[in-house]
Amino acid sequence: MTGIALASVGAGLAAIGAGIGVGTVGAAAVQGMARQPEMAPKLQVTALIFSALIEGVALFSLVICFLQM
């Protein structure tokens, strides 16, 4: 495989990993809010922070993949 093909596969895997991570964080936040509604604002802020961190890692991995081209 060429470098472009490998970088494209890596970019796709990074996007899939970020989607799975954000989905897991969202599901856990909704489940926590359903169990303790009074904690909803705190859980929402925490979930948004973790989602941003996951997206940041995904962005860095995409940049690394595209630099390999």
- pLDDT of 51-63, one tens digit each? 999 999 999 988 9
User: Phi then psi for 30, rounded to 5 degrees?
Assistant: -65, -40
**CATH number for domain 3-67, candidates 1.20.20.10, 2.170.120.12, 3.40.1030.10, 3.40.50.11540:** 1.20.20.10
pLDDT on residue 7: 85
pLDDT on residue 67: 86
User: ∠ CA(14), CA(17), CA(22), 5° rounding?
Assistant: 125
pTM above 0.85, yes or no: no
If one compares 25 and 8, the residue with the highest pLDDT of the two is 25
Q: Say what angle helices 3-35 and 40-67 make with each other, to 10 degrees.
A: 180
Distances (CA, A) of 50 to 3, 9, 33, 58, 67: 32, 25, 16, 12, 26
In the predicted model, what is the mean pLDDT of residues 32-43? 95
Cα-Cα-Cα-Cα torsion 19, 22, 26, 29, nearest 10 degrees, comes to: 160
> Taking the domains of the chain in order of start, what are their residue ranges?
3-67
